[in-house]
Amino acid sequence: MLNHSSQPDVLISEVGPRDGLQSVKATMSTADKFKWIDALVAAGVREIEVASFVPARLLPQMADAAEVVKYATRHPNVTVMALVPNLRGAQAALAAGAHKLTMPVSASRAHSLANVRKTPEDMVEEVRAIARLRDELAPAVKLEAGISTAFGCTLQGEVAEDDVIRLATLCVQAGANESGLSDTVGYANPAQVRRLFRRLRQELGEHAGAAHMHNTRGLGLANCLAAWDEGVRTFDSSLGGLGGCPYAPGASGNVVTEDLVFMFEAMGVRTGIDLAKIVAAREPLAVGLPGEALYGMTPDAGLPKGFAQQP
């Protein structure tokens, strides 16, 4: 039995209920979402991105966003996070009681226009407006600007590293508490991850945020380890590897939460997440999305003989 009272070494931020669900065609029922969130919390997950506040006509999977946020906030000691692409979404997320807002700010101009119909510069001003709203209504709420397509883009191709660091810096100057880097389309490699996160942390210090990696080309865990080596301590992942981006063709699959937890725990890096229980959390996910493919090497292979998770 894990001792969750001890401070873990890393924060695994589960993004499946948002990033995962908005990337599949089926719509999980609200009741099934509740059961999935309950199972994640029972496993020791301490931060969950539960919804995206976008028009239901665009993403019917997120039509119950306010209801899901309100339910999730009943769990003590869990940070409930919501994605907000604009000021209207932020107003709705704050009204629902979200503890943390995350904004997608794409370093690729082509992806930004396709995803939110705004330029990266427009999105910095959106960050500024949302930060002002947050300061006025709920100063305790954290605001994260995730720099998407930070490592390359299926629409634009190469994304200049200077553009990525400049955009992250502008977002923090505009009022974001932190800015992390997202490999939205799975282009990143470990050397690139080391280089960019080193620059980000030199530039932003304590305001440098999470690593959000995709496993599109099988390098998700390697890239997370590279980010860990550069001092990153918050990692986004998705149970069963669900996720992608509707506006980034071929961008399949977030890093699998179960595999990420196993990697760190096997290294002696405490996640605060019970491996057996996080694997068990796949059951309500499978029930809520019948027929949807779930990924993960650890759930399939099981734990090594004699492996014991340290308290």
The number of CA neighbours under 13 Å toward the Cβ of 76 is 0
CB of 129 closer than 8 Å to CB of 225: no
Supply the DSSP string of 189-250, one letter for each residue. -HHHHHHHHHHHHHHHGGGEEEEE-B-TTS-HHHHHHHHHHTT--EEEEBGGG----TTSTT
| Percent residues over pLDDT 90 in the chain | 87
Residue range 84-96, pLDDT digits in tens? 999 999 999 999 9
Give yes or no for residue 1 having a pLDDT over 50.
Answer: no
Give the contacts of 175 (CB within 8 A, at least 6 positions apart): 127, 128, 130, 131, 132, 134, 135, 143
Q: Average model confidence (pLDDT) for the chain?
A: 94
* C-alpha pair distances (Å), 309 with each of 12, 141, 197, 292, 293: 16, 33, 29, 29, 27
* pLDDT band at residue 245 using 50, 70 and 90 as cut-offs: low
The 3-state DSSP class for residue 138 equals coil
Residue range 46-56, pLDDT digits in tens? 999 999 999 99
Give yes or no for residue 3 having a pLDDT over 50.
Answer: no
Pairing of strands 100-106, 79-83: parallel
Give yes or no for residue 136 having a pLDDT over 60.
Answer: yes
* pLDDT band at residue 246 using 50, 70 and 90 as cut-offs: low
* C-alpha pair distances (Å), 271 with each of 3, 267, 268, 300, 301: 11, 11, 9, 21, 20
Q: Supply φ then ψ for residue 48, to 5 degrees.
A: -135, 125
Q: Which two tokens stand for residue 261?
A: 């937890």
CB of 238 closer than 8 Å to CB of 12: no
Pairing of strands 79-83, 208-212: unpaired
Give the mean model confidence (pLDDT) for residues 74-79.
Answer: 97
Give yes or no for residue 252 having a pLDDT over 80.
Answer: no
DSSP annotation of 253 reads -
Give yes or no for residue 2 having a pLDDT over 50.
Answer: no
Residues belonging to the active site: 245
Lowest mean pLDDT across 1-5, 81-85, 201-205: 1-5
Tell me, what's the pLDDT at 123? 96
Tell me, what's the pLDDT at 61? 96
Give the mean model confidence (pLDDT) for residues 60-84.
Answer: 97
Residue range 149-203, pLDDT digits in tens? 999 998 999 999 999 999 999 999 999 999 999 999 899 999 999 999 999 999 9
Give yes or no for residue 72 having a pLDDT over 80.
Answer: yes
* pLDDT band at residue 311 using 50, 70 and 90 as cut-offs: confident
Give yes or no for residue 286 having a pLDDT over 80.
Answer: yes
**Single-letter code of the amino acid located at 209:** G
Give the mean model confidence (pLDDT) for residues 133-145.
Answer: 98
Give yes or no for residue 250 having a pLDDT over 80.
Answer: no
* C-alpha pair distances (Å), 260 with each of 141, 196, 237: 27, 21, 8
Domains of the chain: 11-301 (3.20.20.70)
Question: Can you name the residues that pair with 214 across neighbouring β-strands?
Answer: 254
Tell me, what's the pLDDT at 244? 64
Supply the DSSP string of 67-130, one letter for each residue. HHHHHHTTSTT-EEEEE-SSHHHHHHHHHHT-SEEEEEEESSHHHHHHHHSS-HHHHHHHHHHH
Give the mean model confidence (pLDDT) for residues 14-39.
Answer: 95
Give yes or no for residue 4 having a pLDDT over 50.
Answer: no
Give the mean model confidence (pLDDT) for residues 246-267.
Answer: 82
Tell me, what's the pLDDT at 243? 80
CB of 81 closer than 8 Å to CB of 98: yes
The 3-state DSSP class for residue 174 equals coil
Tell me, what's the pLDDT at 176? 98
* pLDDT band at residue 249 using 50, 70 and 90 as cut-offs: low
